[in-house]
Chains A and B, each alone.
Chain A
Amino acid sequence: MSTQIHDLGYRAYAGERAGVAWAVRSLAVHSMRRILGLKRAGKHKIVPALTIGFAFLPAIVMIGIAAFVPAVNEFDIIRLGDYFGFISFALFLFTAAAAPGVLTTDRTSGMLALYLASPLNRTTYVLAKFIGIFSVMLLVTVAPIVFLQVAFTLVGSGPGGIVDFVASIARAIVAGGILAAALTGLGMFISSFPKRWGIASVAIVATMLIPIIVAAILTEGADAPDWVMFLSPPDILGKAWEHLIGDPVNNSLALDRLDSTLVVLAAIAYAAVFVGLTWWRYQHIEVDR
């Protein structure tokens, strides 16, 4: 081999350059990693791990019962329709933990200015963040149910035929998808205002809890008409999920009396509105340079 000194100077890049889609994907993946605490210190993995674990907990319990005590109908313990109610608090907490972390920090850390100076613009930035948060939300809104159905089928208590099986999975995806979209949109919209992510988190939890309480008081205690429940997004989202899963709970409450189609449409509308509001907010947000 002949002797050489190599030029260690600057190397121009002559390779491929991808477009906006690659940038969106990169930012979405980056956001997902941050939410799950991957590539970060251990303490950032605790809340996501606990919340996801909690979302799967009823499923694991039900499968355990189905597997080891076949005589007991697992659905006596928890009905599928109850699932959302059972883990709803975990869902709200997860939204409150996920969205603010990846939105407010960009604004305070100066990253937003750098992102907007890349091929991303305000719209594709919001899109990338939405995809990232939404994908992780699916882990708690869809994955547990799918897991449940698959596991039941494996232990023999699942839906009868292939068609029913596929249908049940499809329902889980649609129901969980709309729920995830709406929660993501709401979380993003609220996170687009404060400078500190802690404030956004509290605001998100408040936005979930307060309408539930107020709507319950109004309809049950103060005899308000049933349609008041439409004004409570968390109630509507939960109910829509139940309807789509195909196993709605009926406790003779105002929420249960609402027409199922309207409830589902309202949930979809809420999802669209929250996402739209977030997009609008980011079109006008001031960026520090």
Chain B
Amino acid sequence: MRRERIGNDALVQDLASTLGPEVRPVGAPVISASRVAKSFGATTVLTDVTVDIQPGITGLLGSNGAGKTTLLSLLLGLEPRNGGVLQVLGHDPQSTGPEVRARIGYSPEHHHLPADVQAADLVRHLAQLHGLPAQASTERASDALWLVGLGEERFRPIGTMSTGQRQRVKLAAAIAHDPALVLLDEPTDGLDPVQRDDMLALIRRIGTQYGISIVLSSHLLEEVERICDNVVIIANGTVIRSGTINQMRGGRTSVMVELDSGHERVAETLRTAGLVVAVSGSKLLVDAPPQPDADPYWIHDYVRDVVAWADVGLRRLGDQTVSLEDVFLASNDESNEAMREASA
């Protein structure tokens, strides 16, 4: 019942992260899609996928059946497109599939892995298939397994490993050949909260310090919010929203203030300055009429001063932003509405 933690490896990684430079990938979009379409027989799955995915960590969101899995297949060149232009790392996966796949790492959603194979052997074998010479494959497989925290377990058969360890084996296999882009499909599935935390931190480190771009497909919007720089939302076969997390959530809306006491007193005082204040339980939502010339954060200063004057406890202060989940659900609703109207 030993809980896997990264343990001593964390020390190594911390050391490395303080010494190594941050190698964020920069440059041209890693994936560039323009009006990509795909049908299977009579079923149209993707109709007009147009998006540029920038270097960094991108979350790929979509309801089941929206076309995410199909899009991943197209990115890997596993299926031919029915239309549109698609470039992955500068190449068309349909015409140059092997070259594109050589530079991509992939961790599938399912947990099946050969039970009688040692983790190091599996990772080495896959690295070699991706073009690395035999010795380099062995070395990099070992490195990758240490990096994901399985250094001591790397000679164990995968069948003896727990779900958490298998997820990390898949991750190691995806990065061992130093890909430019890694596609992760539900990488935290089956992990308990602590393991999930560790895995997300690992993915974040890979995406920000190793120069590897990551596309993360997940249904857990909270984890996408936590580690992704950019988000792409797919619904009804097309990309309905894309951009950075901050763009997704929109500009500042209201300022939210949580107090221990004195809510009405503080609210009244704020209102005398022309602010619109709504009180809800222990929270105040403060809005200002738009003032183009004013310092946008004057509300924060004024709230701070009023709270200090009122001598009450300030628990929370910040911009009330929309959650990614709200954006996701709202965008999906919009898209479904549009589909209904189009077919009506």
B152 on the interface (CB 8 Å rule)?
Answer: no
Interface pair A118/B101, CB less than 8 Å apart: yes
Chain A residues lying within 8 Å of B110, measured Cβ to Cβ, are: 110, 113, 288-289
Beyond A9-B19, A117-B78, list 19 extra A-B contacts (CB 8 Å).
A7-B16, A7-B20, A10-B16, A10-B143, A10-B147, A12-B178, A13-B177, A15-B136, A16-B131, A17-B102, A18-B131, A26-B129, A109-B113, A109-B114, A109-B115, A119-B131, A288-B112, A289-B109, A289-B185
> Nearest 10 A-B pairs (CB), nearest first?
A110-B112, A9-B16, A13-B178, A17-B131, A9-B20, A119-B98, A109-B114, A117-B106, A10-B210, A118-B129
Measured between alpha carbons, how far is A39 from B122 in the docked complex, in Å? Answer: 12
Find out whether the CB atom of A118 lies under 8 angstroms from the CB atom of B126. yes
A117 to B159, CA, bound (A): 22
Residues of A within 8 A of B109 (CB): 289
Binding site for B on A (CB under 8 A): 5, 7-13, 15-20, 22-23, 26-27, 30, 39-41, 105, 108-111, 113-121, 124, 288-289
A16 touches B129 (CB 8 A): no
Identify the closest chain B residue to A116 (Cβ): B78
Say yes or no: is B89 at the interface (Cβ < 8 Å to chain A).
Answer: no
Query: A69 to chain B: closest CB distance in Å?
Result: 47
Against A, the Cβ 8 Å flags (1 = close, 0 = not) of B85-115 are 0000000000001110110101011111111
Which one of A7, A119, A124 has the highest number of Cβ atoms from chain B below 10 Å of its Cβ? A119
Most chain A CB neighbours (cut-off 10 Å) among B77, B128, B206: B128
A9-B209, A109-B112, A109-B114 known; A119 and B129 CB under 8 Å? Answer: yes
Q: Is the interface of A mostly helix, strand, loop or mixed?
A: loop
Q: Could you show 29 A-B contacts with beta carbons less than 8 Å apart?
A: A7-B19, A8-B12, A9-B20, A10-B209, A13-B140, A13-B177, A15-B133, A15-B136, A17-B102, A19-B102, A23-B130, A26-B129, A27-B129, A41-B116, A105-B114, A110-B111, A110-B114, A113-B110, A114-B173, A115-B129, A116-B78, A117-B101, A119-B97, A119-B98, A119-B101, A120-B129, A121-B97, A289-B110, A289-B185
In chain A, what residue has the closest Cβ to B117?
Answer: A109
Q: Is A13 touching B132 in the complex (CB atoms < 8 A)? A: yes
The CA-CA distance from A41 to B140 in the complex, in Å, is 25
B178 near A120 with CB under 8 A, answer: no
Distance in angstroms from A24 CB to nearest chain B CB is 9
A9-B129 in contact given A109-B113, A121-B97 (Cβ < 8 Å): no
CA–CA, A5 and B18, complex, Å: 12
- Of A18, A39, A105, A113, the contact of B121 (CB 8 Å cutoff): A39
Query: Which chain B residue lies CB-closest to A110?
Result: B112
Point out which of B72, B109, B132, B173 has the most chain A C-beta atoms below 10 A from its C-beta.
B132
**B244 proximal to A (CB < 8 A):** no
By a CB distance below 8 angstroms, the chain A residues around B78 are 116-117
Say whether B125 faces chain A, with CB atoms less than 8 Å apart.
yes
Q: Is B211 an interface residue (CB 8 A)?
A: yes
Residues of B within 8 A of A5 (CB): 15, 19
Q: Identify which of B97, B98, B112, B211 contacts A108 (C-beta below 8 A).
A: B112
